[in-house]
């Protein structure tokens, strides 16, 4: 994608580092997801935590997606960007009273509730506001997502969700809360999942818990299975759009529901990751005894994932070059932390000061996690239609 002199000429006049967003690819990705979901009558909420850049949100909202929020400010952002309140869910283990009141004020579709105490707090605040709050109860299905332990969320010992041992009590509390209306069950096993068998196992667990509630006289209208679909970080040009057909087909085949029950999803990374790249410029080259370094002007302040998760991102030189002149580099940033490294032993053309690189698949959990550490300037961005 970036081995193009025209791209290099366009970027050369721009101050780096910056995020480059391909809005055409974003649109095609959203269309593919929408087609696959609509044919099965599935509802998709976009997870704002992945990327809340205004232009990105404008495109997503225009395609008819709902919004999945994890803070009061995200709820307000979704409202401000035109998402309908009846399409907004609010998740998170630590909702403050202020955040809950913001969501109650807007009359959002549902709170994804993660503890019995939270049920009681929302009930009290809804009563004070004179409204009834719709809630979905988040249950940990105790499924290993086979992904990085920092982004695994569906095991019994995670901080998320109501523990299975407390579901009887949760059901009792719900019956006693006059200002709550249970509309659904919520599940989420983790992120960057590429093995469809994980989602098949989730369906089996969802079926069990839905039956458990229905056997006790509680009708479940909404089955929210979260998100978690991964993307191809290693070959972004070969696989720019995830296989949404295969993903939604698993739930269509293995999730038990009747014609009145709705199935909801909360996708983030799968929708926006591939449309974004972080563009940076080589400041210095440096060689040690066994190592060669490229010191670039982007750092962990612009893209935290490699430092936080040891996450892999494909790194490539921008512009034309000869393949025969390659060298392995550690690509590092300017931040005063040893963990400020984007990749080790990355094969790249022999590079010099002023060359430009692209760090790919950075449209999710990139710009939104940027910081001003070391008093860095705010991150910039460029759009391509």
pLDDT tens, position by position, 120-130: 999 999 999 99
- Predicted local distance difference test score (pLDDT) of residue 153: 45
- Predicted local distance difference test score (pLDDT) of residue 152: 47
Predicted confidence band of residue 3 (pLDDT cuts 50, 70, 90): confident
The arithmetic mean of pLDDT across residues 189-216, rounded, is 94
Which tens digit of pLDDT belongs to each residue from 137-149?
999 887 765 544 4
- Predicted local distance difference test score (pLDDT) of residue 15: 97
Residue 314 has pLDDT above 60, yes or no: yes
Tracing tokens 């698993």 back to the chain, one arrives at: 250
Which tens digit of pLDDT belongs to each residue from 315-333?
999 998 877 789 999 999 9
Name the percent of the chain lying above pLDDT 70.
Answer: 96
Name the percent of the chain lying above pLDDT 90.
Answer: 87
Residue 55 has pLDDT above 90, yes or no: yes
Residue 33 has pLDDT above 90, yes or no: yes
The arithmetic mean of pLDDT across residues 280-298, rounded, is 96
Tracing tokens 């006289």 back to the chain, one arrives at: 217
- Predicted local distance difference test score (pLDDT) of residue 201: 94
Question: Higher confidence at residue 103 or residue 161?
Answer: 103
Give yes or no for a contact between 299 and 376, defined as CB atoms under 8 angstroms apart: yes
- Predicted local distance difference test score (pLDDT) of residue 264: 98
Residue 118 has pLDDT above 60, yes or no: yes
- Predicted local distance difference test score (pLDDT) of residue 148: 45
Structural domains in the chain, sorted by start? 5-19+274-384 (2.40.37.10), 23-272 (3.20.20.10)
């Amino acid at each position: 994608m970036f081995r193009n002199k025209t791209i290099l000429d366009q970027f050369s006049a721009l101050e780096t580092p910056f995020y480059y967003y391909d809005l055409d690819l974003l649109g095609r990705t959203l269309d593919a997801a929408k087609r696959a979901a609509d044919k099965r009558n599935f509802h998709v909420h976009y997870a704002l935590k992945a990327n809340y850049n205004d232009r990105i949100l404008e495109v997503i909202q225009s395609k008819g997606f709902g919004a999945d929020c994890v803070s009061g400010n995200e709820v307000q952002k979704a409202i401000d960007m035109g998402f309908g309140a009846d399409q907004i869910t609010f998740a998170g283990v630590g909702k403050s009273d202020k955040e809950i009141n913001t969501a109650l004020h807007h009359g959002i579709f549902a709170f994804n509730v993660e503890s019995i105490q939270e049920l009681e707090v929302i009930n009290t605040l809804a009563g004070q506001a004179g409204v009834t709050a719709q809630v979905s109860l988040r249950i940990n299905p105790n499924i290993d997502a086979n992904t990085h332990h920092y982004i695994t969320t569906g095991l019994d010992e995670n901080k998320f969700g109501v523990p299975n041992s407390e579901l009887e009590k949760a059901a009792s509390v719900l019956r006693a809360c006059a200002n709550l209306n249970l509309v659904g069950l919520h599940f989420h096993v983790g992120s960057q999942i590429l093995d469809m068998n994980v989602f098949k196992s989730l369906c089996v667990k969802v079926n069990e818990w839905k039956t458990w509630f229905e056997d006790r006289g509680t009708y479940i209208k909404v089955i929210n299975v979260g998100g978690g679909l991964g993307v191809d970080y290693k070959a972004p040009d070969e696989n720019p759009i995830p296989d949404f057909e295969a993903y939604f087909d698993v739930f269509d085949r293995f999730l038990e529901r009747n014609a009145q029950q709705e199935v909801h999803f909360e996708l983030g990374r799968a929708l926006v990751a591939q449309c974004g790249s972080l563009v940076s410029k080589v400041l210095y080259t440096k060689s040690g005894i066994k190592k060669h370094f490229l010191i670039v002007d982007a750092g962990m302040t612009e893209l935290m994932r490699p430092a936080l998760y040891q996450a892999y991102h494909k790194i490539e030189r921008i512009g034309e070059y000869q393949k025969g002149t390659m060298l392995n580099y550690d690509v590092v940033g300017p931040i005063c932390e040893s963990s400020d490294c984007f990749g080790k032993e990355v094969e790249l053309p022999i590079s010099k000061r002023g060359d430009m690189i692209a760090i790919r698949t950075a449209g999710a959990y990139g710009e939104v996690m940027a910081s001003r550490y070391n008093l860095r300037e705010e991150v910039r961005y460029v759009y391509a239609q």
